Structure 1
Amino acid sequence: MEVAVIGINHNNSPIEVREKFFFSESMKIESSDQILDKSTKEIIIVSTCNRSEIYVASDNIDLSIDEVKEFYKEFFKFSQAEDYIFVKKRRDAVVHLYMVAAGLDSMVLGEDQILGQIRESMTFSMNLGFSKKVLNRLFMDAIFEGKKIRSKLKISEIPLSTSYIGINLLKKEIGSLNGKKALIIGAGEIGTLAIKYLYEEELEQIYVTNRTYEKVKEICKDFDKLTPIEYDVRYDILENIDILITATGAPHTIITHRDIKKLPNRLYILDLALPRDVDPKIGEKENVILYHNDDLQKCQKKIY
């Protein structure tokens, strides 16, 4: 049995393309079922802000690759999908996964989160029976080697994540975050990291909200100076803050162009989600400076 990876990632696809190919958990199940009905024997889907990659094991790897490429076009209803799809098979697929696990194929070089995302992807497929002996062993080895590479290259000595790089971008553009006010929308790992880094910047006030208010209350237990707000009033305080950071798992925009009124003061928006949380047209509004994931790579080079 041979292996391959067929996917779309930040190396050849802008964010407006990548967000079309994001897999939710339910979509992973549906997609895996469809692909396994054909020539593919095992499958693991890795879907993050920077990549949607389908790893397969098959007795006829070339046929399996063709089927997955066709799946991308049909499932996501995007006829130009093949213009952005890359394919690596056999040894090249293994090397690619090792590079991803080590953080060497990330938009933010050496990012901390990807290793956990790879582990979660493997566990998800393994528990549902989508991956078995071949891909499970490949992913476990990649995780092990990824840790060794990070340690050898001392990548982990610098805390790298999209949240970390994004907040450094804001510091560069604003000058100082001291005394500023911010709203964080999203109570997952990325949003929590953003709060952690903002705490080090001595902001005057940090608001936090999430569609599920119970998650907000959990975060507030760990960060005593947070101000929780109800999700439905998120627009109401935009004119009173300097920074908006969004990092939700919503499949659609949660900050829309039509719902933002004219702002009296400059608002910096950092959209760390994929699909994007913030309508890109908002960046054209007066007094709004909008950044998303594709802006972070430029900032990282300046941090070093």
Structure 2
Amino acid sequence: MEIVVVGINYKNTPLQIREKVAFLKSDLERAYGQLDNNHYAREIVILSTCNRSEITAVVTDIKKGVQALKSFYYRFFGLEEGTLEEYFFVNVSDEAVKHVFYLAAGLESLVLGEDQILGQVRDAHGFAHERGSTGAILNKLYREAVTTAKRIKRETAISEHSLSISSIAVKFIEQIFEDLSHKKVLVIGVGKMSRIAIENLMAKGVEEIYVTNRTKGHAIDLSKRYPEVGVIDFHDRYKMIPQIDIIITSTSAPHYVLKREEFEKYYAKDNRVCIVDIAVPRDVDPEINSLKGVSLYELDALKKVSLENMESRMEAAKVAVEIIIEECIKFENWYHCLPVFPAIEGLKTFGESVLTEELESLTKRLEKASDKDKELIEIVMRSLVKKIIKKPILNLKRAGEDQKGELYARVASELFGINDYSCKRR
């Protein structure tokens, strides 16, 4: 059994491709349902964000398992086999472990050290765990990765003045307009990304912010949190265009929420409108960008601003890497010891059974001994058994860490009559 990660991310994959393989929340149960029938994957976690779509799996065969996961992408998203090959990244074994730790800590993010990814990693594992798609290995990996990410945030400055995609979007808009205080903004969507954008806009002095959402009740709830924000009926979103300078959109819709033909009906060509689409799949029809006076920016355009804000976090990232290396070694030692754990438990059970048998026999022969003497005898014998099996247990653990666990567990099984000596072998 080995851990692998297969997927695509923002590093070498354009948005136009990323949006084609984004798992919507409504897709997840169906996706896991198909992966349940995968012959090579025993445990699965799917993670899909605006910058990545990836699957972590415990597979019985690395080559066949990786190919099966790639083929799943093509089938599930209805893509021609081979069209994603230049974009796929694959991490195996220790590199896969390190990737998950880096991911949770924000070291794999477009915005170095961003906070949002930690919650996304935790939620992705939580969903998989609740439906029974994970087991001992991925449960341990994701829990340790999340715990380590929290430690990094406590012990380093990597998340100070934390930036997210939403806050980067506002910084990007500020570079375009310079002064935002007199601009009117329409925010489409009411998720976390939208809330962060609204807070950043208000911090920049924006006084007129309107929000709209397909479910109006959610928009009203948001306006209660931010009394300065006005609520617009979703069906009236196009009617706001003549009054608006900036549009920020971040929904989970599988289709465009701003289409050119409708947008063009309401857009006054002498206006200047800046649109920032931070959704995957995209919310805004790219054809809108061809309209005079309209500037449409998508996720990949935000990379420059992200890089400019990265330097201050690089030193903290160095410390974070050291912490991750330390925790990865601990996890890998545990993982490589999986074959010997049953053997160790078997040794303990064997020692306990011998002790019980000999104590019963000795007690019968020492009927006249006092209870205090019998108690002392039991303490000494228990101590003796522990000392006898201590060295073999340590050697089994060392063998596991040296990736020789299967061999040593098999030998221990034969010597002591332990039947099930490996939980990694299937």
| TM-score computed with the length of structure 2 as normaliser | 0.70
Distance 2:96 2:2 in 1: 10
1:136 is aligned to 139
RMSD: 1.2
> Is residue 73–residue 82 contact of structure 1 (8 Å, CA) maintained in 2?
no
Give the superposition deviation at 1:35.
1.9
1:41 aligns to 2:11 (yes or no): no
In the alignment, the residues of structure 2 paired with residue 128 and residue 300 of structure 1 have an alpha-carbon distance, to the nearest angstrom, of 36
Per-residue deviation, 1:297:
1.2
SS of equivalent residue, structure 2 residue 43: strand
What is the aligned partner in structure 2 of residue 52 from structure 1?
A: 53
Contact 2:5 2:55 in 1 (8 A): yes
CA distance in 2, matches of 1:278, 1:245: 10
Pairing 1:22-41 to 2, within 5 Å after superposition: 22-37=22-37, 38-41=39-42
Aligned to 1:194: 197
The one of 272, 275, 284 equivalent to 1:278 is 284
- Partner Cα distance (1:26, 1:171) in 2: 35
SS in 2 for 1:82: coil
Please list the CA deviations of residues 225-274 of structure 1 after superposition, one character each: whole Å capped at 9, or x if unmatched.
Answer: 11101000000011111100001000111001111124231001011100
SS in 1 for 2:238: coil
Amino acid at match of 1:17: I
Aligned to 2:234: 231
Return the alpha-carbon distance in structure 2 between the equivalents of residues 26 and 250 of structure 1: 10
Of Structure 1 and Structure 2, which has the larger fraction of its residues in helix? 2
SS of the counterpart of 1:157? Answer: coil
**Unmatched runs of 5 consecutive residues or more in structure 2:** 312-426
Aligned positions of 1:1-304 closer than 5 A? 1-37=1-37, 38-79=39-80, 80-261=83-264, 262-263=267-268, 264-303=270-309
Check conservation: 2:9, 2:51, Cα contact below 8 A: yes
What CA distance in whole angstroms lies between the structure 1 residues aligned with 2:36 and 2:131? 12
C-alpha displacement at 1:34, in angstroms?
A: 1.5
Q: Distance in 1 between matches of 2:289 and 2:86?
A: 28
The answer to whether the 8 Å contact 1:35/1:67 transfers is no
1:104 aligned partner, one-letter code: L
Structure 1 residue 151 displacement after superposition: 3.5
Looking at structure 2, the residues matched to 95 and 181 of structure 1 have their Cα atoms a distance apart, in angstroms, of 44
Regions of 4+ moved over 6 Å: none
Which amino acid is the alignment partner of residue 286 of structure 1?
K
Aligned residues: 304
Give the 3-state SS of the residue equivalent to 2:209 in structure 1.
strand
More strand by share: 1
Contact 2:111 2:163 survives alignment (8 Å): yes
Q: Partners of 1:301 and 1:114 in 2: how far apart?
A: 18
Name the SS of the counterpart of 1:83 in structure 2. coil
User: CA separation of 1:157/1:58 partners in 2, compared to 1, >3 Å: closer, same or farther?
Assistant: same
Which of these two proteins has the greater Rg computed from alpha carbons? Answer: 2
Q: Return the offset for 1:2.
A: 1.4
Code of the residue aligned with 1:274 in structure 2: it is V
